[in-house]
Structure 1
């Protein structure tokens, strides 16, 4: 086809440059085409094998990611980045212990490998080894203070220990360094979801999805926020349905249900309650005792 004909006349170095460019711009299928073209010309080129492994990782083909890195290591057993890539793949496949082993190997081969330190922190976190994870994050940030992954991972550690303000600061720092880092936006959303601010959680999950449309976890968590917002709206709907039958005053209602947290349906019900108040004001005394009983019931 036309695409294949275009690739025929491109030399090995240009293919590799185009593969890197496509990878950085998120065009993984195109990156794979160029990487495979290099592989056909020179299957022992380890930098291309490393890139192919990274491409397959982004395409969620973790077995091929591991296979390409193993090919590179068969040629160059000291290639630390390959161990780091394999560790990432094994972590996604759920074998955290093996991932940790490969991260440690990568760090042993290259002690200043800041990405490996940061990813090792993530693996330790998943094993519940929070102190070791924090040490790894701090080591990564000593090596590279602008490493957004490490800031975000450190934020996750702070959140796991209940240190909300510290976690918030870590996520904000990651976003300050790289406003397009979708993972930090998603983690920030998760923090607000935990503290119950669903509106901000939704706002930040939307930002994460906007920055990375293929971000499956952000899509899933966004759905969870929608569910919780619906449940809140449903509870408010039921409360206002009760209040509507007993003529509450608007000031009381806004104390119970702040406007900032009310859904459109709730606002409509508040309007109905307010209008009804004027129609029944002459008979309000009849409802005083009943209203007090319902307030007590709602308080319980």
Structure 2
């Protein structure tokens, strides 16, 4: 696949200031300690590709830190109809601190297959999910496998206060750009419907994207609260969201979002909405986005959000 560079906006400066204000104690893990999930024993060790970080997204977890620098942010449904984010980074865009970090879900494993062999940073996972993580084509880096990379902040209560210092991860994140699934950047396609506001709803969460002609970005509000995040393109990807075989500690089913298959989508860019189709034949393949007549779609340069909604 061809390599493509993501060009990000200037909102990262604000995130950097927020990161500098965080204080807390380091979470000391046990370090890599040999070959583990996603590692190889080859000469020179594993070379990290991109970084994916699982992000808390309930009210007490906001404002977030380090999300403005992410190239792609995936929005997933989790238990009780809430949402979590999966933020993906290239090495040249890594902020000093990212968080709050929360636990992985089964959805993440298939979703991340399109990024090659990424490093996944997450707070942990339930025991029954651990064998699937071990078998996945990724490099798992929870706190116990990442000595000195995580810390707890004193500015908010647990579990919403776990943060990552990505520069301390081993292996280091070395990809200079991303080669994500089926993404092309360029001029907008013809047509589209003028759109000032689009709201994406989960059972217990909502995201509102408001077009700013001055900034040429979509201003993001989460659960009615406006923030500093402003992607250039938003994909609302309609798919099957079903119960998985996993449950949280209170017995709520963990939703599984299918990112392999095909379906319809809406692409928001340049103040317009475009009807689209998506297709991904297997978990190692890229997701291809096309217009209804089959033409590959181009996206605006800048941060990309992909929100997976139940069709």
The TM-score range, normalised by the shorter chain, is under 0.3
**Which protein is richer in strand relative to its size?**
2
- Larger gyration radius, structure 1 or structure 2: 1
